[in-house]
Structure formats: structure tokens, C-alpha cells
């Protein structure tokens, strides 16, 4: 009998398998070394045996992993056993190894292959060394930079403590104390000397650009005072304004600033059944903390009664790369529809879905110039409008967003009836309800924590905090990282919006209007209206009048408001005022717009506006409100009194610059909310500005908007420039 023999190749395979078995461990089985505290720009990790992958905030780094930063990359990480940190500047590569030193600590080896590495050892538990081709530095409660240049030499720059460094070429140990630098050259030369501050790298990742604050002069939660008064014009740049959104009773003239959405619409073309209007613009946009050059094409396409408004943005980064995530799946196609409509608002049957612009119900005491697109395109809401007229009845409904219908969010309706008495009389009733004002707190990652106070954007805060505590077992290390600002204060996390009771608000009202004169070139309406904010106060406007005659238009009304009432509660900025967020040392409060009503006193006064267009050369519009509040008791227990500013003013003048060479746009504006003294720049929110459009070609304008906003006694200069194409 012959003994069984294994082929030589099989023995070789078995031997190789035994050698490679330790490396065959799954990555998940390797000990966790650190957790990523910050990652910006091009940062990648490559665990041994795996493909490179982007390294993001909160990712863990395990044994046998290379971390590499690109030309714009910054990365910082904290060791999970003692909270010590490593910070990598651009063009740096390190290889991390770790072995269990005890149940609570790791022995770590950090191999710096190229670049600049800051080591910050805190209450160190395990042994840690930083290795390069020419030096091995022992980390013992110190703060120092290790720099490896292209020539292979190593520099140790000690900021705190003392670093013990062994030269691998001389096999000798040197001490580099605080305020000193050590050079360990590739030829074996060692030099220890005084640290030159100019040689110390700066750990300072570029801050993310702050998001646009929207309308100049009005921060979140600032508005909603008594008699909110005239509002500045809708923000420019929206692709709206194509089919008109003002909704009143039969024959009612548009309230507020005349002209409605149709003002300033671009010229168009007709191709058989197609009607096309086209606008385009060039500017800048900040999305997800990155600044892009933005090109936007905004066509309005009509096919019979069907109309489609599109917003086709193209965002290019500083390298000229298109932001592809706006175009890479089917959902992106849907977001390019600004709205879809059937018919026009003055038709008997009208439907619109998508963005809503300048929506006014009736004479505007409850809802005036509301829009769900103030934050477009960063926040996209798909709202809806329906109008149905039958004989003398007209029914109108609206809602702000399909995604909020189950709460519901903002939903409103209006019913009018025109009676044929000796004079036509239009009776109207309006109701608007917001089922949960807390929905105004934006929550991009859906974890229940508003974006403004989200400790871990793009992650579920509760899950990530639990994971952090499970990864870093020592509460002392967590407290240390919180104190140093390396992680948010997870011991005092903001409350989830679901933990706060819903806050609804309902306003209903009635009105009556008489068209004293109703002709094509001239109209005069007299009206009165009343509204009740449920559980708060009432407001009345009696009498009111609106007049149009050719190029001239005007309106005026006398206002009587009980305490805890404000007009046009649902206005242009409502979506950003539904809820404001106030943070303290250990508290976060969500404050709804309706909760601010209890400090509004009673008032009486008037509102008036007027505008005129002269010979198609000059267009002037102004609105003014005066409310008499006097001294009002704010608190019956303390008998505290206060005075509310009682005047508001808005004005705009635009000139046709045809007679001025190379100028295609020329206008100025002034806005002053809630003041005791007109034209006093000490009033917070006062805004003075002008816009000038320079003709680069007959169809291209370079528009400069210069505004001065006065806030807290200082003037803030804001200048924006964009290129506008006229077709």
C-alpha cells in the first residue's frame, strides 16, 4: 500500500494560507482605533484588503488602515480609548496600526508617509508612537507637529510638553522640548534648535459659507408685530410671476401692490398652439455648504390651457464640474417643475400644483402675498391651488405642501357669492389653518431635530449619539471631547420636534365688497372685512377702498385691531416665521409665530398705498401704515407698560433707462418697518438700496444691487451682482 502524498502545489497553498490567515480577518473584526471628528474636501481611507472609500464625519477607523488627504483635504480624528487626537492637513498620508494593550487601552503606531500631522495627546492610556523614514517619536502628553517633506526628512515641532525622538539612521535618542524644533534629515543629520513660529503649520479648515438669509433686513422670527404693515417686494430670481396668483371674489381687484405676479414677465413667442416665455440668469448659490456658479433657465410653456413652469439650474463648482446629483435620478426630473397649471386664475376653473407665488385671499387681512417658494431651490415645496366658479359662487382652496397634508400644514379656502341687489354686492368668507407650525423647522435628514440645531447633519442624532457612547465607553473622554469642542454637547442634545406638542393656528374671516364702478379702464371698490385668530384677538378694516384708473392705482383702509391680533398673518415670509429657534446655555426652545401674539396690544390706524406708471417711462409705488398703540399693559401682575413703533413705509421707483446709453435697468427702493420716526436709519431693518443693470449686449444685463441695511445701530452693506439674460 502506498502512503497518500499531497501534491507540492497543495502544500504551498496551505502554507500560504497559514501565513495570510491573520490578514484575512474581516475589517469589522479589527480593533477600532479612532473616530472621525472632521472631514472636509478630499479625504479617503483604505483599510488593508479593501478598496479606498471617502472618510466622513463620524466614520470609525480600524487597525491597518491608511488615511490620505488630497489638495483640499482636512481630517481630524480622536482615539476611542483616551480621546487623544490626530489632525491631518492637505496632502498627508498616514498608516494606522493598533494592538490591544489592555482591556481599556490600545498600543498605536502611526506611520507618517508624507505631509503634516498634528498629534495632541491628552490623558494618554496606551503607548503611541509616530514613525517616519528617519525618526520615531514617542507620544507622552504632548502637542507637536510632525512634518515629512518630499526629500524624506522629518521635522518635529513641539508646542507643548517634550517629545522623545529616536533617529532611525543614528539609532540615538534626542529630546525636543516645548518651543523647539528638531530636524532629522535623510542623510542622518540631526539639528535641535529654537522653534520659528513661521514654520508651524496652521490647522484651520476653511469655514463653510453661511447660507443666504433670504430677504435683506428680516431675520427669522423678527416679523409679526402689530400691524405688520407694508411688505417689501418678493425676492428676485424666482421663476414665478407668470400667471398671477392673487385670488379674490368675482371682479375683485388685486389687493396690495397692484400688478400681481404678471408684472415684469418676459416677452415670449408663439409656435402654433405653444406659447413660450423664457428668462435666464447667472449668479452664485450656496448648496450644502459649497459655493457654485449658478446658471438658471426658466421657461414658461403654454399648450392651450395647460401651462408648465420649469426651473432648470446648472451648478458648477470651482473646478468647473457640474453638480451631477441634481440630474442623476428620476426624482431630480420632478424637481425641475416649478409648477404645472390648468388655465389662468381669472378663468372659471383653475388648478395649479407646485410653487405658489404672491397668494392673497380676498382683501388680504388673513393671507396677503403668501409664497411657499421663499427658500427655493434649497427648500422645494409642492403646493396646490384650485378655483371653481359656478354662476354667482366662487370657491378657492390652497395648501402649502403635499408632504404636510396629513398634519395638515397650511391649508386655506375662500367662498364668495355675488348678490344682485340695487348694487352688486360680493359676500366672502375665508379660513386658513396651519395644523402644526413646528413643521416650519427644517429637518433635512428626517431625524426629528431641526437643521438649525442638528448636532449631526445627515445622520439620525439619537442613533449616532448611542453609537458614539457605545464606541467611546469612557464618559470622561466624551466630556473632554465636548469641552474641547471636538464633538457637540451630546449631554444636552436639542429636543426632537416630535417631543414638542403640535401648535396649530386657525384664522377665519368674513368680508363684503361693493363694486361702485367696474369698467375696463376704471374701477372702484368699497369693502369691509373682519377676522378672528382662534383663541386670540380680532381685527377689522372698515372702510376700505381700491381704485384704478388707467396707469394709476390706489387703495386705503382703516384698521381696528384688538390685542393679540396681527394682519396678514400668512404673508410672504410665513414659511420661515412659522417657528423660530432660541438656544441658551443648556436649553433649546421652539417658538411658534402664534405664541408671539400674546404680547401684541390693541391698535387703530390706517393703511394706504398708491402707484402710477407715467408714459411707460417711470413707475412709482409706495405704501404706508400708521397704527396708534399708545401705552399698553404687557403684564397685569407687574403693570409693565411699553410703546410699540407705529409707522411702516415702503417705496420704489423704477425708470425706463432707454435714453441712458448702456443702462438697461434703473430703480431705487426704501423699506422701513415699525418705527416711530420716518426716514430714521436707527430703526432696525431699515433698508435703502438701488439696482442698476449695465447692458453688456442688447440681451445681457450685468445687474448690481446695492443695499444698506441698518441693524442694532450699525449699517450693513450688501452688494449682489448677477448676469441676466433678456429674450
Backbone angles phi, psi at 467, to 5 degrees: -65, -40
3-state secondary structure of 719: strand
Q: Which three cell numbers stand for residue 722?
A: 448677477
∠ CA 355-356-359, nearest 5°, is 175
Convert 50-102 into a string of H (helix), E (strand) and C (coil).
CCCEECCCCCEEECCEEEEECCCCEEEEEECCCCCEEEECCCCEEEEEEEECC
Helix locations, 472-582, DSSP H = 475-483, 574-577
List, for residues 509-550, the tens digit of each pLDDT value.
999 999 988 887 899 999 999 999 999 999 999 999 999 998
For residue 219, the model assigns a pLDDT of 33
- Classify residue 209 by its DSSP letter: P
For residue 524, the model assigns a pLDDT of 92
Q: Using an 8 Å Cβ cutoff, are 685 and 673 in contact?
A: yes
Nearest to 651 by CA among 605, 687, 604: 687
Distance, CA of 619 to CA of 611 (rounded, Å): 7
Return the exposure string of 647-658: e unless at least 16 CB atoms fall within 10 Å of the residue's CB, then b: bbbbbbebbbbe
Return the exposure string of 8-26: e unless at least 16 CB atoms fall within 10 Å of the residue's CB, then b: eeeeeeeeeeeeeeeeeee
Q: Torsion angle of alpha carbons 215, 221, 227, 229, nearest 10°?
A: 0
Q: Using an 8 Å Cβ cutoff, are 530 and 559 in contact?
A: no
Q: Using an 8 Å Cβ cutoff, are 530 and 363 in contact?
A: no
360-361/246-247 β-pairing:
parallel
3-state secondary structure of 452: helix
End-to-end CA distance of the chain: 97
For residue 251, the model assigns a pLDDT of 35
383-390/349-354 β-pairing:
antiparallel
For residue 94, the model assigns a pLDDT of 93
Q: Which three cell numbers stand for residue 150?
A: 518630499
3-state secondary structure of 472: coil
Q: Torsion angle of alpha carbons 259, 263, 269, 273, nearest 10°?
A: -40
Task: Match 514654520 to its residue by C-alpha cell.
Answer: 199
Mean pLDDT, consecutive 10-residue segments, the chain of 727 residues? 45 44 55 82 88 85 90 85 84 86 72 91 73 87 86 88 88 90 89 88 55 33 39 37 42 34 44 70 68 77 86 81 80 80 88 89 89 78 92 93 87 94 90 88 73 74 79 79 77 70 88 89 92 94 91 92 90 81 71 84 90 86 84 47 69 84 85 76 76 77 80 72 64
Task: Match 376653473 to its residue by C-alpha cell.
Answer: 349
Q: Using an 8 Å Cβ cutoff, are 457 and 435 in contact?
A: no
For residue 207, the model assigns a pLDDT of 42
Distance, CA of 308 to CA of 449 (rounded, Å): 35
For residue 293, the model assigns a pLDDT of 76
Strand partners, 417: 393, 427
Amino acid at each position: 500500500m502506498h502512503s497518500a502524498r499531497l501534491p507540492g502545489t497543495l502544500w504551498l497553498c496551505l502554507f500560504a494560507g497559514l501565513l495570510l490567515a491573520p490578514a484575512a480577518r474581516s475589517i469589522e473584526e479589527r480593533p477600532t482605533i479612532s473616530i472621525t471628528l472632521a472631514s472636509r474636501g478630499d479625504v479617503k481611507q483604505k483599510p488593508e484588503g479593501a478598496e479606498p472609500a471617502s472618510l466622513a464625519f463620524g466614520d470609525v477607523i480600524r487597525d491597518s488602515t491608511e488615511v490620505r488627504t488630497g489638495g483640499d483635504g482636512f481630517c481630524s480624528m480622536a482615539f476611542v480609548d483616551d480621546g487623544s487626537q490626530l489632525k491631518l492637513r492637505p496632502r498627508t498620508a498616514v498608516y494606522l496600526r493598533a494592538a490591544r494593550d489592555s482591556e481599556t487601552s490600545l498600543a498605536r503606531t502611526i506611520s507618517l508617509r508624507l505631509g503634516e500631522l498634528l498629534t495632541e495627546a491628552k490623558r494618554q492610556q496606551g503607548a503611541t508612537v509616530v514613525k517616519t523614514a528617519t525618526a520615531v517619536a514617542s507620544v507622552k502628553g504632548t502637542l507637536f507637529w510632525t512634518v515629512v517633506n518630499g526629500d524624506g526628512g522629518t521635522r518635529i515641532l513641539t508646542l507643548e510638553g517634550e517629545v522623545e525622538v529616536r533617529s532611525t539612521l543614528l539609532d540615538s535618542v534626542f529630546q525636543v522640548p516645548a518651543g523647539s524644533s528638531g530636524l532629522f534629515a535623510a542623510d542622518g543629520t540631526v539639528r535641535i534648535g529654537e522653534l520659528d513660529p513661521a514654520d508651524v503649520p496652521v490647522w484651520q479648515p476653511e469655514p463653510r459659507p453661511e447660507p443666504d438669509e433670504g430677504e435683506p433686513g428680516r431675520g427669522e422670527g423678527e416679523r409679526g408685530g402689530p400691524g405688520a404693515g407694508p411688505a417689501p417686494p418678493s425676492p428676485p430670481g424666482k421663476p414665478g410671476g407668470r400667471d398671477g396668483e392673487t385670488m379674490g371674489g368675482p371682479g375683485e381687484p388685486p389687493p396690495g401692490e397692484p400688478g400681481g405676479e404678471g408684472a415684469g414677465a418676459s416677452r415670449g413667442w408663439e409656435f402654433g398652439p405653444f406659447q413660450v416665455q423664457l428668462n435666464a440668469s447667472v449668479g452664485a448659490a450656496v448648496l450644502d455648504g459649497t459655493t457654485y456658479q449658478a446658471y438658471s433657465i426658466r421657461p414658461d410653456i403654454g399648450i392651450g390651457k395647460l401651462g408648465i413652469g420649469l426651473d432648470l439650474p446648472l451648478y458648477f463648482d470651482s473646478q468647473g464640474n457640474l453638480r451631477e446629483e441634481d440630474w442623476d435620478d428620476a426624482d431630480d426630473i420632478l424637481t425641475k417643475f416649478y409648477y404645472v397649471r390648468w388655465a389662468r386664475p381669472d378663468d372659471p376653473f383653475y388648478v395649479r400644483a407646485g410653487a405658489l407665488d404672491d397668494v392673497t385671499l380676498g382683501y388680504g387681512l388673513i393671507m396677503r402675498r403668501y409664497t411657499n417658494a421663499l427658500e427655493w431651490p434649497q427648500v422645494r415645496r409642492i403646493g396646490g391651488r384650485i378655483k371653481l366658479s359656478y354662476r354667482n359662487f366662487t370657491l378657492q382652496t390652497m395648501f402649502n405642501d403635499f408632504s404636510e397634508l396629513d398634519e395638515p400644514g397650511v391649508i386655506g379656502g375662500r367662498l364668495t357669492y355675488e348678490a344682485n341687489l340695487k348694487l352688486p354686492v360680493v359676500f366672502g368668507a375665508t379660513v386658513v389653518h396651519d395644523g402644526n407650525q413646528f413643521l416650519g423647522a427644517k429637518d433635512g435628514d428626517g431625524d426629528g431635530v431641526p437643521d438649525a440645531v442638528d448636532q449631526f447633519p445627515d445622520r439620525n442624532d439619537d442613533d449616532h449619539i448611542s453609537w458614539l457612547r457605545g464606541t467611546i465607553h469612557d464618559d470622561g473622554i466624551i466630556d473632554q471631547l465636548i469641552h474641547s469642542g471636538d464633538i457637540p454637547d451630546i449631554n444636552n442634545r436639542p429636543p426632537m420636534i416630535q417631543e414638542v406638542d403640535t401648535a396649530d393656528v386657525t384664522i377665519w374671516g368674513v368680508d363684503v365688497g361693493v363694486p361702485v364702478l367696474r369698467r375696463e379702464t376704471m374701477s372702484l371698490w368699497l369693502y369691509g372685512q373682519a377676522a378672528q385668530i382662534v383663541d386670540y384677538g380680532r381685527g377689522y378694516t372698515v372702510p376700505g377702498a381700491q381704485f384704478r384708473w388707467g396707469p394709476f392705482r390706489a387703495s386705503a383702509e382703516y384698521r381696528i385691531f384688538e390685542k393679540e391680533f396681527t394682519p396678514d398673518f400668512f404673508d410672504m415670509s410665513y414659511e420661515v416665521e412659522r417657528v423660530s429657534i432660541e438656544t441658551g446655555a443648556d436649553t433649546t426652545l421652539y417658538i411658534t409665530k402664534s405664541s408671539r401674539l400674546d404680547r401684541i396690544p390693541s391698535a387703530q390706524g390706517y393703511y394706504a398705498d398708491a402707484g402710477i406708471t407715467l408714459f411707460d417711462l417711470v413707475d412709482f409705488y409706495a405704501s404706508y401704515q400708521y397704527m396708534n398703540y399708545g401705552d399698553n399693559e404687557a403684564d397685569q401682575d407687574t403693570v409693565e407698560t411699553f410703546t410699540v413703533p407705529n409707522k411702516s413705509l415702503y417705496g420704489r421707483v423704477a425708470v425706463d433707462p432707454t435714453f441712458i446709453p448702456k443702462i438697461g435697468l434703473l430703480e431705487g427702493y426704501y423699506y422701513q418697518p415699525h418705527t416711530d420716526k420716518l426716514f430714521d436709519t436707527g430703526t432696525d431693518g431699515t433698508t435703502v438700496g438701488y439696482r442698476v443693470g449695465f447692458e453688456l449686449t442688447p440681451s445681457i444685463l450685468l445687474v448690481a444691487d446695492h443695499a444698506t441695511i441698518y441693524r442694532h445701530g450699525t449699517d450693513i452693506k450688501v452688494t449682489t451682482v448677477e448676469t441676466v439674460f433678456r429674450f
